Structure 1
Amino acid sequence: MKSIACFLVLSALTSAAFAQENFKCPDDFGFYPHHRSCDKYWKCDNNAAELKTCGNGLAFDNSDPKYLTENCDYLHNVDCGDRTEIEPAISTPHCSRLYGIFYDDKKCDVFWSCWNGEASRYQCPPGLAYDREDRVCKWSDQVPECKAEEVGGGFACPAPGEITNSGTFSRHAHPDDCRKYYICLEGVPREYGCPIGTVFKIGDADGTGNCEDPEDVPGCEDYYGDLDLKSIRKSELLAGTGNYGSSRPQAAPAPAPRPNKPRPPQPARNAPESADN
């Protein structure tokens, strides 16, 4: 009985290997998805088929209807459909697979871009946290896994009714950084930063303030040191980005297609791959 069982297993493996090795190229040249695996594909050249495997953490993008594109992309960018099989994960520090974008286990505003197992650290802008599902930086209160104090330095908004005549929002100085401040919206703190060349000046009434010149803010006069602020302000005004002394909060940064930092390396065409022997 044992020998029969071994024979059946061997026959099944042989049949599977035979089916893979006998892929017939539909055309002389092209790149075709594997029928079961999402990270494997067939490369046809002169009507000869070669089985290829994308880098660990990448999948074959079969969106080209003409099958002329050889492209491996991040797993989360590829619709695998019925191609459910995938190579086992190969992990390195901060990388669940050799290629991909992964969240940090300890800090919710940090994520890692991994390329061939090498991890590059990225941090969301102040007040934002990395959303694991959408893979963008959002306000920390919009990310379930993140606590506001993790990215807000422990700042807590005043209790309802504590500040009179504050309107729909209130502004509060950052305890450690002259350029930063918090806006409280319905009890939720969100961290902002004044335009470069300015610092936050606490207003006359509780919960108010504006971005002003450092020389007009006691204790923050030397915030920028020896930087030429006049040249910085002139360049910002010419670019239309100056926003000095505004009485309204700056617009919240809209979630970008990619996290709002220098873009991590993107899978290129002819992405790293390994040939199956």
Structure 2
Amino acid sequence: MRTYYVIAAILIAGTTAQESFKCPDDFGFYPHHISCDKYWKCDNNVAELKTCGNGLAFDASDSKFLTENCDYLHNVDCGERTQLESAISTPHCPRLYGIFPDDKKCDVFWNCWNGEASRYQCSPGLAYDREARVCMWADQVPECKNEEVAGGFTCPAAGEVSGASGSFSRHAHPEDCRKYYICLEGIAREYGCPIGTVFKIGDADGSGACEDPEDVPGCEDYYGDLDLKSIRKSELLAGIQNSGETRKPPQGKPRPSSAPARPNAPLQE
């Protein structure tokens, strides 16, 4: 996930008769003494009060005061500059600028730019951590419940899976040919096979691997008429994998109900 820095962008100019500021030098950008999203611009020793976009704050880390930079609030150390302009909200955006979690889905977050929200979704098995502001394993995110990210799947008890390697085992997703679960010391994490492949249940219980759809009975038509060779080679796919944004996979055929059942993984109605 990229961090956006805003240099001299989306700034709302403003002056107040109640405030005055004496420029230390002919030219420069200086933090407001109590407001984190305000700053003073000095030009020819004349001070002008400026305000960053709603959800941005003035980055005062330049000791020479020559940088005009408003950045996301969570990236700026405001120190004693605790005051902020009142929030202006739009759908999915508590403020006009920022990165915010979804209210209902813990694996979704929104990047807000001037009040326009762009939806992002973490990769399978990951959830958006509100403090670190990155996608992490869902079981490491306090706000995320197992039933949200693993569809209620519960790992088998220790020793219950004969084909498991120690405390590690793989299990097919009950409804999606491409997805599967990995159980590690009793913790379920959802994974997704690379685009162009599906999960094939192994010969031993608790095992399996990602294979070509034609080699997985019941999942042959998961990708429909798409040219899988072109998909695997495309630069677009590489860009999706590196961007952190998960786009919807082709609406292919779900895993057939005749697939071997796994403990504690009932089919959803």
1:35-90 per-position Cα deviation (integer Å, ceiling 9, x unaligned): 11111100011111000111111100111122111111111100011212222222
Provide the residue aligned with 1:221 in structure 2: 220
What's the secondary structure of 1:182's corresponding residue? strand
Provide the residue aligned with 2:190 in structure 1: 191
Provide the residue aligned with 2:42 in structure 1: 44
Provide the residue aligned with 2:87 in structure 1: 89
Aligned partner letter, 1:222: D
Runs of 4+ in 1 over 6 A off after TM superposition: none
Give the Cα–Cα distance (whole angstroms) in 2 for the partners of residues 232 and 87 of structure 1. 47
Provide the residue aligned with 1:66 in structure 2: 64
Give the Cα–Cα distance (whole angstroms) in 2 for the partners of residues 97 and 196 of structure 1. 35
Equivalent pairs, count: 226
Provide the residue aligned with 1:261 in structure 2: 245
Quick check: 1:136–1:260 contact (8 Å CA) kept in 2?
no
What's the secondary structure of 2:65's corresponding residue? coil
| Cα gap change, 1:130 to 1:203, in 2 (>3 Å) | same
Quick check: 2:55–2:98 contact (8 Å CA) kept in 1?
yes
Quick check: 1:98–1:118 contact (8 Å CA) kept in 2?
yes
Give the Cα–Cα distance (whole angstroms) in 2 for the partners of residues 125 and 81 of structure 1. 35
Residue 98 of structure 1, CA deviation: 1.6
Give the Cα–Cα distance (whole angstroms) in 2 for the partners of residues 115 and 230 of structure 1. 36
Give the Cα–Cα distance (whole angstroms) in 2 for the partners of residues 231 and 113 of structure 1. 31
- Please list every run of 5 or more consecutive structure 2 residues that lacks an aligned counterpart in the other structure: 1-15, 247-269
- Which of the two has higher C-alpha Rg? 1
Residue 131 of structure 1, CA deviation: 0.6
Greater relative contact order (Cα 8 A, min sep 6): structure 1 or 2? Answer: 1
What's the secondary structure of 2:155's corresponding residue? coil
Provide the residue aligned with 1:270 in structure 2: none
RMSD of aligned C-alpha atoms? 2.4
| Cα gap change, 1:230 to 1:120, in 2 (>3 Å) | closer
Residue 24 of structure 1, CA deviation: 1.3
Residue 182 of structure 1, CA deviation: 0.8
Q: Report whether the alignment pairs 1:128 with 2:89.
A: no
Provide the residue aligned with 1:176 in structure 2: 175
Quick check: 2:162–2:204 contact (8 Å CA) kept in 1?
no
Give the Cα–Cα distance (whole angstroms) in 1 for the partners of residues 93 and 178 of structure 2. 34
Aligned partner letter, 1:106: K
TM-score of the aligned structures, taking structure 2 as reference length: 0.77
Residue 159 of structure 1, CA deviation: 2.0
Residue 225 of structure 1, CA deviation: 2.0
Counterparts in 2 of 1:97-116, with a 5 A limit? 97-116=95-114
| Cα gap change, 1:179 to 1:113, in 2 (>3 Å) | same
Give the Cα–Cα distance (whole angstroms) in 2 for the partners of residues 89 and 37 of structure 1. 14
Provide the residue aligned with 2:141 in structure 1: 143
Aligned partner letter, 1:197: G
Residue 231 of structure 1, CA deviation: 4.3
Query: Comparing 116-125 with 23-32, which one deviates more in the overlay?
Result: 116-125
Q: Percent identity?
A: 80
Counterparts in 2 of 1:153-168, with a 5 A limit? 153-167=151-165, 168=167
Residue 17 of structure 1, CA deviation: 5.5
Quick check: 1:56–1:90 contact (8 Å CA) kept in 2?
yes
| Cα gap change, 1:222 to 1:189, in 2 (>3 Å) | same
Quick check: 2:93–2:100 contact (8 Å CA) kept in 1?
yes
Give the Cα–Cα distance (whole angstroms) in 2 for the partners of residues 49 and 135 of structure 1. 36
Residue 139 of structure 1, CA deviation: 0.9
What's the secondary structure of 1:172's corresponding residue? strand
1:171-217 per-position Cα deviation (integer Å, ceiling 9, x unaligned): 11111211111111111111112222221111111101111221111
TM-score of the aligned structures, taking structure 1 as reference length: 0.75
Quick check: 2:199–2:210 contact (8 Å CA) kept in 1?
yes
Give the Cα–Cα distance (whole angstroms) in 1 for the partners of residues 124 and 224 of structure 2. 22
1:85-108 per-position Cα deviation (integer Å, ceiling 9, x unaligned): 222222222222121111122111
